């Protein structure tokens, strides 16, 4: 039997510091340190994020190696997120990875974070994986994309947001209502008791498969301000209905574009990635589409949907198999397009 391959994955692109150990496609450990400091500010503060990464990175890696039950000498390569993301945050993971790889005298593998979100579907979990080609809707606080996935490293963006991401729309709506960050899970929770048709918000008219959420945010803010000027307790008194209405507007915008993408490509294998894939209405409506439109829907385990290093390690594993290594000169790339080759940037 050929030698097994152990990859250490490092993720630090936004506000989660994560390290994972992957052996032959299976996750042995996936440690994520969240940064609660941002709750106070209603969004991620880049300067604070990089400082917290700096504090967290060594304990997180140490814990991942211990939890995996390996020794650092067992690691065959280090896969790290080179971008896209916040420059200061990326610098911490990149610098750490380079130094550790140098110390261990093992190769480095750079990973595009967006590719990582998609390839999280290939972590060995004993569940069915999508087969190529499939469509992936990546929806999180930083991203909203529909990607045609032809192969592990042959991906084409069919549509993406021209302004805010879907998770950002959730978080900003929550902030307008006075809820803490991140507001997406809270809106999801309160929406369960509410009527999604209580209030109507106008949906953006964006051509093709692209998205826009900034107009919705402005419309929502004007609506709340107008209602609060009449009744200052409006939000508290109608929280569930407001949450259900804004949530169903966001989810319907996502699903309408996903349906168009499926019709245009005639692909019915639909994968979801990113933190917003935890949303219960999205999951319920996808299940309905599965029956009505004959879709086959793939949603990874939640810990592999939100930002995590397991997805970076699995992408690194596939790159390792094709000898696609990086080197010590690799610098972070804040705006790293899914289709671009790093050496062209």
Q: Is 17 in the site for ligand KG4 (CB under 6 A)?
A: no
Q: Is 279 in the site for ligand KG4 (CB under 6 A)?
A: yes
Residue 170 binds which one of Zn ion, ligand KG4, none, with CB within 5 to 8 A depending on kind?
ligand KG4
Residue 74 is given by DSSP the state G
Residue 185 binds which one of ligand KG4, Zn ion, none, with CB within 5 to 8 A depending on kind?
ligand KG4
Q: Is 11 in the site for ligand KG4 (CB under 6 A)?
A: no
> Which one of 84, 88, 194, 275 is in contact with ligand KG4 (CB under 6 A)?
275
Q: Nearer Cβ to Zn ion, position 93 or 194? A: 93
Q: Which stretch binds Zn ion (CB under 5 A): 164-172, 220-228, 299-307, 323-331?
A: 299-307
At 23, is the secondary structure helix, strand, or coil? strand
Residue 182 binds which one of Zn ion, ligand KG4, none, with CB within 5 to 8 A depending on kind?
ligand KG4
Instruction: List the x/- string, 164-183, binding to ligand KG4 by CB under 6 A.
Output: ---x--xx----------xx
Q: How far is the CB of 86 from ligand KG4 (least distance, A)?
A: 11
Q: Which two tokens stand for residue 203?
A: 């949906």
> Which one of 83, 93, 130, 141 is in contact with ligand KG4 (CB under 6 A)?
141
What percent helix, strand, coil does the chain show, rounded to 5?
45, 20, 35
CA atoms within 13 Å, Cβ hemisphere of 64: 31
Alpha-carbon gap, residue 59 to 143, rounded angstroms: 28
Q: Which stretch binds ligand KG4 (CB under 6 A): 45-53, 95-103, 270-278, 323-331?
A: 270-278
Q: Nearer Cβ to ligand KG4, position 139 or 158? A: 139
At 226, is the secondary structure helix, strand, or coil? helix
Residue 306 binds which one of Zn ion, ligand KG4, none, with CB within 5 to 8 A depending on kind?
ligand KG4
> Which one of 140, 210, 212, 247 is in contact with Zn ion (CB under 5 A)?
140
Alpha-carbon gap, residue 116 to 139, rounded angstroms: 13
Give strand pairing partners of 10. Answer: 19, 80
Burial 272-287 (b: 16+ CB within 10 A, else e): bbbbbbbbebbeebbe
> Which one of 7, 8, 10, 14 is in contact with ligand KG4 (CB under 6 A)?
14
Q: Nearer Cβ to ligand KG4, position 75 or 299? A: 299
Q: Give the full edge-to-edge strand order of the sheet including 16-23.
A: 26-34, 16-23, 6-11, 77-83, 108-112
Alpha-carbon gap, residue 69 to 63, rounded angstroms: 10
> Which one of 56, 140, 245, 326 is in contact with ligand KG4 (CB under 6 A)?
140
Alpha-carbon gap, residue 277 to 139, rounded angstroms: 7
Burial 93-123 (b: 16+ CB within 10 A, else e): bbbbbbebbeeeebbbbbbbbbbbbbbbbbb
> Which one of 92, 106, 111, 278 is in contact with ligand KG4 (CB under 6 A)?
278
Alpha-carbon gap, residue 112 to 338, rounded angstroms: 7
Q: Is 307 in the site for Zn ion (CB under 5 A)?
A: yes
Nearest residue relative to ligand KG4 (C-beta): 275
Q: How far is the CB of 127 from ligand KG4 (least distance, A)?
A: 20
Residues that bind ligand KG4 (CB under 6 A): 14, 140-142, 167, 170-171, 182-185, 188, 274-276, 278-279, 306-307
């Amino acid at each position: 039997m050929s030698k097994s391959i152990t990859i250490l994955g490092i993720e630090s692109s936004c506000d989660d510091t994560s390290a994972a150990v992957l052996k032959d496609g299976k996750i042995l450990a996936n440690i994520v340190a969240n940064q609660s400091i941002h709750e106070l500010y209603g969004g991620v503060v880049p300067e604070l994020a990089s400082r917290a990464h700096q504090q967290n990175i060594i304990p997180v890696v140490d814990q991942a190696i211990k939890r995996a039950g390996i020794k650092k000498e067992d690691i065959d390569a280090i896969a790290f997120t080179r971008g896209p993301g916040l420059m200061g945050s990326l610098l911490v993971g990149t610098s750490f990875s380079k130094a550790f790889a140098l110390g261990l005298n093992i190769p480095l593998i750079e990973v595009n974070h967006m590719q990582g979100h998609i390839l999280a579907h290939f972590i060995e979990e004993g569940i069915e994986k999508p087969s190529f080609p499939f469509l992936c809707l990546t929806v999180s606080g930083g991203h909203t994309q529909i990607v045609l996935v032809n192969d592990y490293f042959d991906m084409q963006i069919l549509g993406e947001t021209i302004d805010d991401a879907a998770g950002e729309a959730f978080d900003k709506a929550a902030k307008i209502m006075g809820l803490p960050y991140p507001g997406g899970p809270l809106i999801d929770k309160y929406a369960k008791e509410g009527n999604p048709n209580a209030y109507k918000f106008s949906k953006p008219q964006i051509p093709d498969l692209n998205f826009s959420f900034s107009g919705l945010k402005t419309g929502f803010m004007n609506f709340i301000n107008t209602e609060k000027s009449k009744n200052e307790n409006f939000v508290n008194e109608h929280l569930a209905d407001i949450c259900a209405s804004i949530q169903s507007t966001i989810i319907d915008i996502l699903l309408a574009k996903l349906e168009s993408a499926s019709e245009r490509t005639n692909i019915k294998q639909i994968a979801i990635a990113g933190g917003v894939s935890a949303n219960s209405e999205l999951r319920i409506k996808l299940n309905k589409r599965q029956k009505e439109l004959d879709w086959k829907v793939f949603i990874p385990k939640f810990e592999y949907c939100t930002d995590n290093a397991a997805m970076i390690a699995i992408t690194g594993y596939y790159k390792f198999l094709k000898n696609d290594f990086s080197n010590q000169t690799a610098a972070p790339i804040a705006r790293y397009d899914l289709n671009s080759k790093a050496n062209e940037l």
